[in-house]
Amino acid sequence: MTRGRTLALAAAGLVIATTVPLLGASRPAAASDNGSALRPAMGWSSWSFVRRQPTDAKIKAQADALAASGLAGHGLVYINLDDFWQKCDANGFVVDSYGRWAVDTDKFPSGIKALADYVHAKGLKFGFYVTPGIAKNAVTADTPIEGTSYHAKDIADTSKTEKNYNCKNMYYIDYGKPGAQEFVDSWARQFASWGVDYLKIDGVGSADVSDVQAWDKALRATRRPVDFALSNNLPIDHAATWRQLANSWRTQGDVECYCGPGPNGSGYPLTDWSHVSARFNSAASWQQYAGPGGWNDLDSLEIGNGDQAGLTADQRRSHFTLWAMAASPLLLGTDLTRLDTVDKAMLTNDRLIGVDQDGVAAKRIVNSGAQQVWSKKESSGDHVVALFNTGTSGNATVRVNWSQVGFTGSGDVTDLWSGSHKGTVANTYSATLRPGETRLIRVRPLG
């Protein structure tokens, strides 16, 4: 079994931990100790392709495709249901008897637990979605908080509304009030009982630290392992807080271009190069905060449906390479029922997956216009180096000295995309790259 394959399967929980090499020595302090996300999550999320119309049938079809495609065997095991699973009326979210969002039974007639059970039966994990606050309808009806004598009006701050992208009408929660933590606890217990393995809390900003603290505490109290993800475009000045409380955090806005022909810009293309290439700067800025237990999330990986996703094959390889070098979660946003053969070969490249799953976020060591070089050192002593031409026209010869990487003399080089062994290279490595192309190598210092 190759090293990359071992790492990928370890991330999926499919091999014993002793087969996974130790992580690099450099790691940030104060990571979440909830026991989740020792490696970045890998799988699929509904937002990019399914968008605002998720249904039971659509999510099951993607789970079927993930399992049948063989991608799960490479570590891609999450099926994450994003926004629009909830039911709304003119005043916002319809709520249950305890003030929590009600499931839209037209979309999910058997409920969320049945869907999670279906996903689990495929050997996969199930992810879910929520935003901070308490629904206006809960406050209007003054619903009781489960297991307490408190009610929605006791904990709501109706002077301000939380960010919400769907039904809106979410009030802030005043966590200084009795019953506030208990409300979030009841929601977390419900999600745990449904079989949630990954929870994305969206619309998080600087004013929501208390919500993130409450959800972290509530999820721990369920005793169910949950990968806790924050979204989106979180402020970097709170990076140490996000790392302490959660397992990943979105470092920018959406990677989707919203330039498709459907409602709200849905449909193909899903993204464009400008939305992907914008991640190079944010990945460099956030690099120091990534490590076991907490990862910089660059957003969905739009690989799987070929050129129609909005990127050329070269750009898609660069897309994957940057995400892997950054040790970002790898959550596909494409339609898994129509996998492109070129893209499937990319997604089953265990050498690339191993770079993502090594638990080390790369540093940018060359930044000269469209020419960029990123590097990281793994626990074996090998260095992984990525060279990029991020431009949209004109070839570029990108160079890096081994001294910039972190050693001197010669190195033994292997191309990780092709798997070909390039042999000994002294002092300097260079590659002439097409617009949007990348070269990813593993180099072992000699001598």
Active-site choice (64, 117, 174, 254): 254
What is the pLDDT averaged over residues 160-184? 97
* Predicted pLDDT at 9: 46
298-334 pLDDT, tens digit per residue, is 999 999 999 999 999 999 999 999 999 999 999 999 9
* Predicted pLDDT at 28: 57
The model's confidence at residue 31, banded by pLDDT at 50, 70 and 90, is confident
The model's confidence at residue 37, banded by pLDDT at 50, 70 and 90, is very high
- Cβ contact 377:328 at 8 Å: no
| CA distances, 13 to each of 36, 37, 74, 78, 360 (Å) | 11, 11, 11, 12, 19
User: Per mean pLDDT, which range of 3-17, 124-138, 315-329, 386-400 is the poorest?
Assistant: 3-17
Half-sphere exposure of 87 (CA within 13 A, CB side): 16
Distance, CA of 216 to CA of 212 (rounded, Å): 6
Residue 15 has pLDDT above 60, yes or no: no
**Residue 336's closest CA among 113, 70, 5?**
70
The model's confidence at residue 11, banded by pLDDT at 50, 70 and 90, is very low
Which of 235-267 are b and which e, b meaning 16 or more Cβ less than 10 Å from the residue's Cβ? eeebbebbbbbbbbbbbbebbbbeebeeeeebe
Query: What residues contact 90, with CB distance under 8 A and at least 6 apart?
Result: none
- Cβ contact 388:372 at 8 Å: yes
| CA distances, 293 to each of 28, 45, 198, 249, 359 (Å) | 10, 20, 13, 11, 9
Q: What percent of the chain has pLDDT over 70?
A: 94
Distance, CA of 376 to CA of 333 (rounded, Å): 27
The model's confidence at residue 286, banded by pLDDT at 50, 70 and 90, is very high
Which of 401-439 are b and which e, b meaning 16 or more Cβ less than 10 Å from the residue's Cβ? ebeebebeebbebbebbeeeeeeebeeebebebebbbbb
70-92 pLDDT, tens digit per residue, is 999 999 999 999 999 999 999 99
Residue 101 has pLDDT above 50, yes or no: yes
- Cβ contact 59:117 at 8 Å: no
Q: Which has more confidence, 18 or 102?
A: 102
Is residue 106 annotated as a catalytic residue, yes or no? no
Q: What average pLDDT does the chain have?
A: 94
What is the pLDDT averaged over residues 9-38? 55
Residue 12 has pLDDT above 70, yes or no: no
Residue 374 β-bridge partners = 364, 386
Q: What angle do CA 152, 156, 162 make, to 5 degrees?
A: 125
Distant-in-sequence contacts of 149-153, Cβ < 8 A, 24+ apart: 150/178, 150/179, 150/182, 150/183, 151/179, 152/99, 152/183
Residue 353 has pLDDT above 80, yes or no: yes
216-254 pLDDT, tens digit per residue, is 999 999 999 999 999 999 999 999 999 999 999 999 999
Domains, the chain, in order of start with CATH, read: 35-361 (3.20.20.70), 366-446 (2.60.40.1180)
* Predicted pLDDT at 30: 72
Q: What percent of the chain has pLDDT over 90?
A: 93
Distance, CA of 370 to CA of 255 (rounded, Å): 20
Which of 288-304 are b and which e, b meaning 16 or more Cβ less than 10 Å from the residue's Cβ? ebbbbbbbbbbbbbbbb
- Cβ contact 59:106 at 8 Å: no
What is the pLDDT averaged over residues 416-443? 98
**Collapsing DSSP states into helix, strand and coil, what is residue 297?**
strand
Is residue 211 annotated as a catalytic residue, yes or no? no
Active-site choice (202, 340, 356, 358): 202
